[in-house]
Every structure is written in structure tokens, then in C-alpha cells.
Amino acid sequence: MVALIEAGYDLVILDNLSNSSRKVLTRLEKIVGKPLEFVQGDVRDEALLGRIFQDAAHRGKPLSTVLHFAALKAVGESVREPLRYYDNNVGGTLSLLRAMQTANVKKFVFSSSATVYDANLTCPFQEGNPIGPINPYGWTKAMVERVLCDMCTANDQFSAIVLRYFNPIGAHSSGLIGEDPSGIPNNLFPFLTQVAVGRRTHLSVYGGDYPTVDGTGVRDYVHVMDLAEGHAKAVAHVADTKGFVPINLGTGHGTSVLQLVRAFERAIGRTVPFRIEGRRPGDLAESWADVAHASKLLGWAAKRDVDQMCQDGWRWQSANPEGYGQAG
């Protein structure tokens, strides 16, 4: 949101707060220096979506572009709860697209994932590679991509940029906003930071026998602010483009889980306890991006390295040991 506002866009923010907090809004307003328009609600509530589009139009500020991030995103959880994931991730997108169609809004930027790629591919993954997820989370993203591609075919005025995230981590450099998942984190980095701050006893590393540099999974970790800046570039690009355009957002190289842990230990100046556990269903051994397409189409490249990701992530967590749940 910060990157979009800094790029000059006016926003209407919709969030059901199932994995967030109203305190985020207050802190966002502090960072950008102005009030933000926020609506609490669910992306599956089509009537509410219709009212949001109508209200904006009645105020003389019709919405031109939709950015869709409202997805559940944990691979392991999706394996355990597939119906919940299909309902929210696919069903929510269908509701949003119907509301957009009614409001005649034709520009869409979608938060997709590298998990859509075929598990048998050799890294780096390229946008033209075959699709073939190995977990329900990845399939929800692939299904939405298929819907968006069909929407673009059916209506040559509709365009969709699909941003295939690799592994966003870190936090805003101010330390005011960062990742604070509800309950036990399902993703590596917030679990790591919570161990470091004393909220968890140790980090579980799932899989120590992969055919990688040190046996642990290799991922393309990208700073969340680089990712945010990529979205601002995508909003500008989608305004003047046609059709369905998938774009990888990553750094273009892989970092193993243990390499990330060591980088984080450098950032905090001490070791972090961890245990190697069995492999987790639905995980790949390696995943990193070919980022040439992002450079060519968006003029975007990741600027922040893993050390900065860890430093910014620790600044957030150490200043907010209980996340947004603490007083103040």
C-alpha cells in the first residue's frame, strides 16, 4: 500500500481482518501522512463489493484497477484444508470478477504464486513454463489464472497482470508494519522471527535431505518492499496493456533455508534454535525465478538482498514482540 500511495494512487482498501489488524491501518496512515479509505469485509461478499464500486463512482472517483491479494497462502494448511482454500481463493476471485464486470472495471492485478509451476521443471522458472502445481494452494492460484486468461479472451478490453510471487519476506524499513500472522505461523520467516523474539521455542525446518546445497529447501526470497514496488509498476503497466500477462517477481537466485537462518542470525547477532524435521507434503526442493520478463515489461528488479530482508524483518519483530496484539 505504501508503494502505491507513494506512486500517486488513491486507494480503497478491503480486508476482512481474518489475518490482520486495524492497527495496520493506523500505522500505514502514519507512514504515508494521510488518512486512508478502509472497508472491513470479505471478498466473497458480492453485494458489498458492488456497493464499494458504486460509492466510488457516485463520488466522482470511479475505481479503475483492482489489486487482488485476499487469499489464504500456506501450502501445508492447504493440504489439510483444501475446501477452505478453494472457497476463499477461487470463490472469492469469482465474486470479485463478477462485481468488476457489473461496474465495468477492466484492469486487474493478481497476486499469484510460483507454486503454479510444474514441479518437474528445472530452475529458474520462466513464465512460459508448463503449469502443474503439487498442492491445493498452488492449484487455487492456477485456477484463478485460467479464469483470468479466459476473461481476457472473452473481452478484449479486459486485461490482467498476474504477478507470480516467489517468497516475500522482510518488513517496511520503519519497523511500523510487518508480518503478524494469526496463531502459529505457517510460513518460515515469521516463525523464525517469533523464535528469535521468544514467542516460539525453536524453528522447525521441514526437510534436511533434499538434493540441494545443504539438504534444505531452496527458495527465491524477495523483500516485501521490492514486491510492493513491483505492484506499483504493474498498476501503471496494466493501464496500457491488453490481455493476460504473467510476470515473475523474485530476485533471480535461490537461498536455502539454512542460509536464510544464518543471514538472520547475522542480523540479530546470535544463534536461533532449530530442528530438522521430515519433509512437508506439497513442498518442492528448489524454486527460483527467471526475472527477465519483469525487467523488460515493468522496468523492475529487486534491489534489496537477503541480509536487508532479515534486518528489516528483525527491526519490525523486535520493536513489536507481540505483533499488533501488544498495547499501543
What residues are annotated to the active site? 137
Burial label for 154, CB within 10 Å (0-12, 13-18, 19+), is exposed
List the alpha helices (DSSP H) in 87-135: 92-103
Distance CA 199, CA 273 (A): 12
Give dist(CA 81, CA 84) in Å, integer: 6
The single-letter code of the amino acid at 239 is: A
Give the residue carrying C-alpha cell 461496474.
103
**Rounded Cα–Cα distance for residues 67 and 88 (Å):** 16
Q: List C-alpha distances in Å: 325 to 22, 23, 73, 181, 182.
A: 10, 9, 21, 11, 10
Residue type at position 193: T
Cell of 140: 487455487
Residue partners of 58: CB distance under 8 A and separation at least 6: none
Based on DSSP, count helices (H) and strands (E) in the chain, helices before strands: 12, 13
Residue burial 245-273, b: 16+ Cβ < 10 Å; e: rest: bbbbbbbbebbbbbbbbbbbeebbeeebe
CA-CA distance, 30 to 176, in Å (whole number)? 9
The C-alpha atoms of residue 227 and residue 164 are separated, in whole angstroms, by 10
| Residues facing 108 on adjacent strands | 66, 160
Residue 194 grid cell: 517469533
